[in-house]
Amino acid sequence: MASIVGYITEVDSLDIEIKRLNTTLRGLRKQKAAAEAFIANYFKSNGLPGGKFRGKEIRLVSKNTRARKSVKDKESDAMSVLRDEGVRDPEGLLERLHEAQRGDEVESYKVRIRKM
């Protein structure tokens, strides 16, 4: 019985460490994004394509990205496309497509630890 107590304690301490690291990484990612934005603004304002620093090449690369849609917007747009194509039951078809993309249901167990 003592070994199970050790595993429970280990899971608890690992959860605490994971939360701590996630908090640290969130701050570091924000700091990195701010520094990269400053560098990009510097290069743009001075009309530079890039530069070299300590054996590293730094380039300002233009990249087109797409804005993310919410789940509600995705479903609404999919319904519009299906209606435009003449599908009689777009809601049913969309639900069947979502279900087809899911994997088979498999029973699994998860340990849930909560404070009392």
pLDDT band for position 116 (50/70/90)?
Answer: confident
Q: Which of 30, 48, 28 is nearest to 39 (CA)?
A: 48
pLDDT at position 2 over 80? no
Digit-coded pLDDT (tens) for 39-89: 999 999 999 988 898 999 999 988 899 999 999 999 999 999 999 999 899
Contact (CB, 8 A) for 43 and 50: yes
Q: What is the model's pLDDT at position 1?
A: 54
Q: Where along the chain do its domains lie?
A: 1-49, 66-103
114 pLDDT band, cuts 50/70/90, is: confident
Does 111 have pLDDT greater than 60?
yes
